[in-house]
Chain A
Amino acid sequence: MPRPSTPEHIADPWGARTPYARGETWPERVDAVLEDGLSDDEVDRWVQTASLLHSNGDAMDIAVRNGRIAGVRGRAGDRVNRGRLDPKDAYAWQANASPDRLTRPLVRQYGRLSEADWDTAMSLVVDKARHHLDGQGPSALGFYTTGQLFLEEYYALSLIVRGGIGSSHLDGNTRLCTATAATALKESFACDGQPGSYTDIDHADTIALFGHNVAETQPVLWMRMLDRLNGPNPPALVCVDPRSTPVAEHATVHVAPLPGTNMALVNALLHELIENGWYDRDYVDAHTVGFDELKSTVENYPPERAAEICDVPAEQIRQAARIIGTAERLLSTVLQGFYQSNQATAAAVGVNNIHIIRGMLGKPGAGVLQMNGQPTAQNTRETGADGDLPGFRNWANDAHVAELADIWNVEPKQIPHYAEPTHAMQILRYAEQGSIRFLWITGTNPAVSLPELGRIRSILEQERLFVVVQDLYLTETAQLADVVLPAATWGEKTGTFTNTDRTVHLSEKAVEPPGEARADLDILLDFAQRLDLRDKDGEPLVPWSDAESVFEAWKSCSAGRPCDYSGLSYEKLRGGSGIQWPCNDEHPDGTERLYEDGRFFADPDYCETYGHDLVTGTTMEPTEYRALNPSGRALIRAAHYQPPHEPTDRTYPFLLTTGRTIFHFHTRTKTGRTPELQAAEPDVWVEMSAGDADSCGFSEGELLEIGTPRGSIVARLRIGTTRDGVMFLPFHYGYWDTPGGHEPDGPGRAANELTPTDWDPASKQPIFKVSAARVRRAPRSGTERRAHDAESGREER
């Protein structure tokens, strides 16, 4: 039980229920948190924004008092949260005022980072960039961005890198969170774009969650589901997760497959749907291609076979299939349990297949939500800051590239489009090989968030690599940089961003950033100007001066494309609710659901991609796509199960999976600096099943050492949430608040010390959720540790 002093949103993260029935509007519930002792009438003004701490897009207002942020309040009129706040929304605004915010640029001199003025720091960055451009060319420069800047900043970055510098090496850390969502949608519908809407929860009779612990990753969305579950005619809930999450506790059926086996499970579900005739033959005939291949593939996956692979009861698979197959309004959601696992894209596409063959798309309550992990991940996908071209344009379609070149007024050959844009893991690989010499990291912390941290640190530490880090704090990554640029964040700058269900929100500046910190957009515009980037007529390539002018330019770039913003403006977004794209003359109030009436963005001349081989990652040729899908239908793509690359063995008998807690976001840069959230989960822990803990002789709270072929860390044991054979570690904890600073000093604690360098060949999303691991009691003293090491050394010999 929480102590009486536990803050309200920590003790009860989902708050009071406001039950509602199917088809009704979700009732409002306005949450607010103000500084101790402050009352509403003492607030100077309220400033409109939305949450930057998860992908849900909770709309809120910032309370400003004496030029400082003094609290937040949910926006009652917004379609996303109807006034609610989750624990991170409620408290993490305090991190803006953390005393260790970066306030001046830092430059490495004689091995140490020391303060410098902006002109010195930017001149150094520009000189280095120019040096490598003149020497090696654009292939020497890489840019690794985030899922936490604003749309305007990504679009500027995309223009600077793809149109100005002409480098192919631009990607976001969205590669870790949302790449599979985007790829799965692109494989099934030939174009990115979320089919469903959050309001589908209001209409669904069945909700299936695939590797999506929504209660912790998007708590406000879970509140919506809880309110349906507590109302009349609640939906059935299907949960696929190896852990007993809060979602699993409420599920009608909870299937807990072994990590790495999702594909076998989804194929078995599809097998049952087809075998029992639970699909819409007319829809399949009229709107899809590829059904026969799916049928012949999933014939090999009767529930008994999947039961063996996944280690779950076959009857449970049948039960889940029956619920999904007989649903009249089916909503499915997918997240990291699929995206960061073995065969990520193929399994997520499998969920799309369920909806395509059942015709469960584009109707109230019938939709797919391929979720995002980060608040503005959606915008990296739209603007081309993530390994795509802006406006969901197809890099393999010369007409699309020519159109983009026209919008940017550059030659088409200036925009690299000879191969798929370089993904994050490959950018790091080129840096490791030494062919990328300049790496600019904006708003992300790869020294904690990427797999196999020992390797990542060794790449970033190289003398031959010039690293620029733009962030709020001296993160683990910033400590390895050559230049650190202090950035402004949420509440200190203006811009827009878009959540998982395509809802665009305006986020306005409420207070001044600390010290000399500058908005990311201003830093990028300054860089473009200093680098003197020009268009083909010799005019400045990046003509903008503020966020709104970038937004206006983005409106023209997106016009006519699926993510059409042309009907939006800052003025229109001010005051009311967020608005879902496409928003244009035809849909002035936005668009709730895509793919009504079985119409898709899949025409060969319009689509964003020609698709991939889901197993090898090979890109399909335009002619192949034209032959396969001449009239732009939905694509049913099938794949066989492939075992994970790192099976368990006698030395490493457990499967290790990593994940999230409700109280932290990413590498805790903000949430670790928020007293309520930090106190709620102060340190790393490891979860094991009661059976496994018992057979190893471990007890609750004991310090354990968890090891994989990459390394080992120490964490305290929590018993009871994972299935047998599986261990779980939260990935949030790094070293900035430990003596090591950016690396372990003694036993490590970052889960990514252990994870493998391996990724899904189609989406290139790293596989964080399947490693073979071992566990033992942590040695207490240095002597004991050495004895232990000597012993395990003997074992290995």
Chain B
Amino acid sequence: MNKVNALLRIVYGAENNLARRLRAIGDRHSSDHEIYHVSRDLAGWSEEHARLLAGHARERGYELGGADRRIPRPWHILRAKAGELTGRRPETGLLAVWDMRKLHLDAVGLSLDWEIVGQTAQALKDEDLLALSTRCHPDTLRQARWANHMVKTLSPQAMAS
């Protein structure tokens, strides 16, 4: 059981981390409106996953709360303002590609974590844990694919201009 709790803590941390990264990317590229809006939508997915994970852990008598370090609002506003101010510089294109690359790697790592959760659930015949992984893992894959897609879409202009 302790191994499962440890795994849940890892996945919980990774979902919160991905949500924070997505929100940071959204703020940094607030002048790139598709990145801004979609990254915030996808951050919502990860925040929902973290909530579901915490709920599941609680059912097993294990508390996951406390790790959810929300970005304080003034910092969020400052970051978005910086995104606006630098929005006219061509370098922001390269920065976006780089951010998406890092995001993809994070999401792929998290996807592997969910893979482990799914396999563990099957080995332990834990229906609830399997349902949780079935619910969340496809979203993680979509987050990873989106980051990959954005790298593909943005890199030609960022590199060849």
* Chain A residues in the interface with B (C-beta under 8 A): 136-137, 139-140, 168, 416, 418-420, 422, 425-426, 429-430, 432-435, 613, 615-619, 642, 645, 757-759, 761, 764
Q: With A and B bound together, what is the CA distance between A414 and B153 in angstroms? A: 18
Q: With A and B bound together, what is the CA distance between A761 and B143 in angstroms? A: 14
Chain B residue contacts of A430, Cβ below 8 A? 93, 157, 161
Question: Which residue in chain B gives the minimum CB-CB distance to A621?
Answer: B145
Question: Which residue in chain B gives the minimum CB-CB distance to A168?
Answer: B156
Q: With A and B bound together, what is the CA distance between A418 and B89 in angstroms? A: 24
B21 contacts chain A at the CB level, 8 A cutoff: no
A757 touches B149 (CB 8 A): no
Find A434's partner among B42, B89, B143, B145 (CB 8 Å cutoff).
Answer: B89
Find A433's partner among B33, B90, B145 (CB 8 Å cutoff).
Answer: B90
B33 touches A759 (CB 8 A): yes
B152 contacts chain A at the CB level, 8 A cutoff: yes
B89 touches A757 (CB 8 A): no
Chain B residue contacts of A758, Cβ below 8 A? 33, 37
Task: Given A140-B161, A618-B146, A619-B149, check contact A433 B92 (CB 8 Å).
Answer: yes
Chain A residue contacts of B149, Cβ below 8 A? 616-619
B41 touches A433 (CB 8 A): no
8 examples of A-B residue contacts, CB within 8 angstroms: A140-B161, A418-B156, A419-B156, A429-B31, A432-B31, A613-B145, A616-B42, A617-B149
Question: Which residue in chain B gives the minimum CB-CB distance to A624?
Answer: B145
Find A613's partner among B90, B146, B152 (CB 8 Å cutoff).
Answer: B146
Interface positions, chain B 117-161, Cβ under 8 Å from A, are 142-143, 145-146, 148-149, 152-153, 156-158, 160-161
Per-position contact with A for B14-53: 1 when CB-CB < 8 Å, else 0? Answer: 0000000000000000011110011011100000000000
Chain B residue contacts of A764, Cβ below 8 A? 34
Q: With A and B bound together, what is the CA distance between A429 and B40 in angstroms? A: 19
Distance in Å: Cβ of B143 to nearest Cβ of chain A: 8
B34 touches A617 (CB 8 A): yes
Chain B residue contacts of A429, Cβ below 8 A? 31-33
Task: Given A432-B88, A433-B89, A434-B90, check contact A613 B142 (CB 8 Å).
Answer: yes
Find A759's partner among B34, B89, B142 (CB 8 Å cutoff).
Answer: B34
Q: With A and B bound together, what is the CA distance between A642 and B157 in angstroms? A: 30
A139 touches B145 (CB 8 A): no
Closest 6 A-B residue pairs measured CB to CB? A435-B161, A616-B146, A618-B149, A139-B161, A757-B33, A618-B145
B87 contacts chain A at the CB level, 8 A cutoff: yes
Of the candidates A136, A618, A642, A645, the one having the most CB atoms from chain B within 10 angstroms of its own CB is A618
Find B37's partner among A432, A435, A613, A645 (CB 8 Å cutoff).
Answer: A645
Distance in Å: Cβ of A774 to nearest Cβ of chain B: 21
Task: Given A137-B160, A420-B153, A617-B38, check contact A433 B88 (CB 8 Å).
Answer: yes
Chain A residue contacts of B152, Cβ below 8 A? 418-419
Question: Which residue in chain A gives the minimum CB-CB distance to B152?
Answer: A419
Chain B residue contacts of A759, Cβ below 8 A? 33-34
Chain B residue contacts of A757, Cβ below 8 A? 33
Find A139's partner among B33, B148, B157 (CB 8 Å cutoff).
Answer: B157
Task: Given A432-B88, A435-B90, A613-B142, check contact A136 B161 (CB 8 Å).
Answer: yes
Q: With A and B bound together, what is the CA distance between A430 and B152 in angstroms? A: 16
Question: Which residue in chain B gives the minimum CB-CB distance to A420?
Answer: B153
Distance in Å: Cβ of B18 to nearest Cβ of chain A: 14
Chain A residue contacts of B41, Cβ below 8 A? 615-616, 642, 645
Distance in Å: Cβ of B103 to nearest Cβ of chain A: 12
Find A419's partner among B32, B33, B40, B153 (CB 8 Å cutoff).
Answer: B153
Chain B residue contacts of A420, Cβ below 8 A? 153
Distance in Å: Cβ of B37 to nearest Cβ of chain A: 5
Distance in Å: Cβ of A45 to nearest Cβ of chain B: 51
B37 touches A433 (CB 8 A): no
Q: With A and B bound together, what is the CA distance between A181 and B134 in angstroms? A: 33
Per-position contact with A for B58-101: 1 when CB-CB < 8 Å, else 0? Answer: 00000000000000000000000000000111101100000000
Task: Given A617-B34, A617-B149, check contact A139 B88 (CB 8 Å).
Answer: no
A433 touches B87 (CB 8 A): yes
A618 touches B89 (CB 8 A): no
Question: Which residue in chain B gives the minimum CB-CB distance to A642?
Answer: B41
Chain B residue contacts of A137, Cβ below 8 A? 160-161
Chain A residue contacts of B34, Cβ below 8 A? 425-426, 617, 759, 761, 764
Q: With A and B bound together, what is the CA distance between A759 and B38 in angstroms? A: 10
B88 touches A761 (CB 8 A): no
Q: With A and B bound together, what is the CA distance between A416 and B160 in angstroms? A: 13
Distance in Å: Cβ of B39 to nearest Cβ of chain A: 10
